[in-house]
């Protein structure tokens, strides 16, 4: 599986019985070097004060960046694993959906760098995250 062979059906199949499905993350757009998705802001993704949990934002960012990275390699020979992720939480959200786009900043042979921007339904920046991904040989 490499680049253009990714479909919404395949992404949804991968997500079954995972945190991705539990959090209600849905994929909305697939591009050559980006992946978009959305996540509900509800009881699954709230922190105790009723706001979007920062960890849920990071889970959304890592989901999109990790799968985006996997889209860049031959998965019969390579695997993509997270090395580091950071996030800046800019604005709170109480309900509705957040929308995100993970975009490749660097696609190398052994590392990739992805930036994910998460927005509210009002198109306000909620979180910005960067993730470094290692591309490793499958055993």
The owner of tokens 């591309």 is 135
Look at the chain and report how many structural domains it folds into.
1
b/e string for 73-109 if b means 16 or more Cβ within 10 A?
A: beeeebebeeeebebebeeebeeebbbbbbbbeebee
d(CA 97, CA 77): 36
Confidence of residue 6 (pLDDT cuts 50, 70, 90): confident
* Active-site residue, from 62, 84, 115, 124: 62
Question: pLDDT digit string (tens) for 39-90?
Answer: 999 999 999 999 999 999 999 999 999 999 999 999 999 999 999 999 999 9
Q: What is the CATH number of the domain that holds 117?
A: 3.10.129.10
Read off the pTM.
Answer: 0.95
* 62 in active site: yes
Q: Give the range of the structural domain holding residue 51, as residue numbers without chain letter.
A: 3-137
């Amino acid at each position: 599986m490499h680049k253009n062979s990714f479909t919404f059906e395949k992404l949804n199949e991968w997500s079954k019985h995972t945190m991705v499905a539990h959090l209600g993350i849905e994929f909305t757009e697939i591009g050559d070097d980006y992946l978009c998705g959305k996540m509900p802001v509800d009881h699954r993704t709230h922190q105790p004060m009723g706001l979007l949990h920062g960890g849920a934002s990071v889970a959304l960012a890592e989901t999109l960046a990790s799968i985006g990275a996997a889209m860049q390699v031959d998965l019969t020979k390579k695997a993509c694993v997270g090395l580091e992720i950071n996030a800046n939480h800019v604005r709170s959200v109480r309900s509705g959906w957040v929308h995100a786009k993970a975009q490749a900043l660097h696609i190398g042979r052994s590392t990739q760098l992805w930036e994910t921007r998460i927005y509210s339904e009002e198109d306000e920046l909620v979180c910005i995250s960067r993730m470094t991904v290692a591309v490793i040989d499958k055993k």
